[in-house]
Amino acid sequence: MSEEASKRAEEEADTPDLGGQSDDSSDEGDASGDTEMDFLRSLFSRTLGLSPGEKVLDELTLDGVARYILSGKCKNIICMVGAGISTSAGIPDFRSPGTGLYANLQKYNLPYPEAIFQIDYFKIHPEPFFALARELYPGQFKPTVCHYFMRMLKDKGLLTRSFSQNIDTLERVAGLEGEDLIEAHGTFHTSHCVSFLCRKEYSMDWMKNKIFSEDIPKCDSCGSLVKPDIVFFGENLPDRFFTSMKMDFPRCDLLIIMGTSLQVQPFASLVSRVSNSCPRLLINMEKTGQSEFGMGLIGFGGGMDFDSDKAYRDVAHLSTCDDGCMALAELLGWKEELEQMVKREHALIDSRDVKKKDEANQNSKSTGAEAGKTDKTA
- In eight-state DSSP terms, residue 103 is G
**What integer best gives the mean pLDDT of the chain?**
81
Q: Are 78 and 255 in contact (CB under 8 A)?
A: yes
Does 61 belong to an annotated binding site? no
Alpha helical stretches, state H, 115-203? 119-124, 127-136, 145-155, 170-174
Please give the average per-residue pLDDT across 111-130, as a whole number: 88
Tally of CB atoms within 10 A around 81: 25
Is the pLDDT score of 47 beyond 50? no
Does 216 belong to an annotated binding site? no
The three-class DSSP label of residue 127 is: helix
Alpha-carbon gap, residue 280 to 287, rounded angstroms: 13
Domains of the chain: 92-140+186-230 (3.30.1600.10)
Per-residue pLDDT reduced to its tens digit, 309-354: 999 999 999 999 999 999 999 999 999 999 999 999 999 988 876 7
Per-residue pLDDT reduced to its tens digit, 23-41: 444 444 554 555 565 555 5
Per-residue pLDDT reduced to its tens digit, 96-108: 665 556 555 667 7
Per-residue pLDDT reduced to its tens digit, 233-248: 888 888 999 999 999 9
Per-residue pLDDT reduced to its tens digit, 59-93: 999 999 999 999 999 999 999 999 999 999 988 66
Active site residues: 185
Does 167 belong to an annotated binding site? yes
Query: What's the Cα-to-Cα distance from 23 to each of 8, 10, 12, 30, rounded to whole Å?
Result: 21, 21, 17, 11
Q: 142 phi and psi, to 5 degrees?
A: -105, 145
Provide the phi-psi class of 2: left if phi over 0, else alpha when psi is between -120 and 50, else beta: beta
Does 95 belong to an annotated binding site? yes
Does 83 belong to an annotated binding site? yes
Does 74 belong to an annotated binding site? no
Does 146 belong to an annotated binding site? no
Q: Are 145 and 88 in contact (CB under 8 A)?
A: yes
Please give the average per-residue pLDDT across 174-200, as a whole number: 92
